[in-house]
Amino acid sequence: MTPEIRTLSVGALTRVEGEGALHVTLTDGVVESVELNIYEPPRFFEAFLRGRAYTEPPDITARVCGICPVAYQISASNAIEDACGVTVPPELVALRRLL
């Protein structure tokens, strides 16, 4: 019997830290291959953040993603505080959770 080969192709996936495409091949209902192609071009945030002042990463990393900027602002703040050994007051932690 000839195996049944199906391919699923999604040309444009949004909200995958940019845009990308997904191609899945199935043979007799079993996944044979999955190809994820993030064609969003690189922007090199990790490279150009080097040498910046400690105050800058929340503003700069917010521009990684316009859908979820707050996640980057808070991660950047947490990372800098962690590196500097700073503990923020509980009110501020609560405010960030609210954001």
Partner 1 sequence: MSVPTLAVWKFASCDGCQLTLLDCEDELLTLAGRVQIATFLEASSDIVGGPYDVSLVEGSITTPADERRIKEIREQSKVLVTIGACATAGGVQALRNFADIDEFASVVYAKPEYLDTVATSTPAAAHVKVDYQLQGCPIDRGQLLDTLAALLVGRKPRLPAKTVCTECKLRGVTCVVVAEGIPCLGPVTHAGCGALCPSYHRGCYGCFGPAATPNSAALIPVLHRDGMSGGDVDRVFSTFNVANFAAERHDR
Residue 99 binds partner 1, judged by CB under 8 A: no
CB of 85 to partner 1, least distance (A): 23
Distance between first and last Cα of the chain: 58
8 Å CB contact between 22 and 34: yes
Residue 81 binds partner 1, judged by CB under 8 A: no
Q: Which of residues 34-63 bind partner 1 (CB under 8 A)?
A: 40-48, 50, 52-53, 56, 59-60, 63
User: Hey, what are 49's tokens?
Assistant: 């953040």
Q: For the chain, how big is the Rg over CA atoms in Å?
A: 21
CB of 27 to partner 1, least distance (A): 27
8 Å CB contact between 80 and 61: no
- Interface residues with partner 1 (CB under 8 A) are 12, 14-15, 19, 40-48, 50, 52-53, 56, 59-60, 63-67, 69
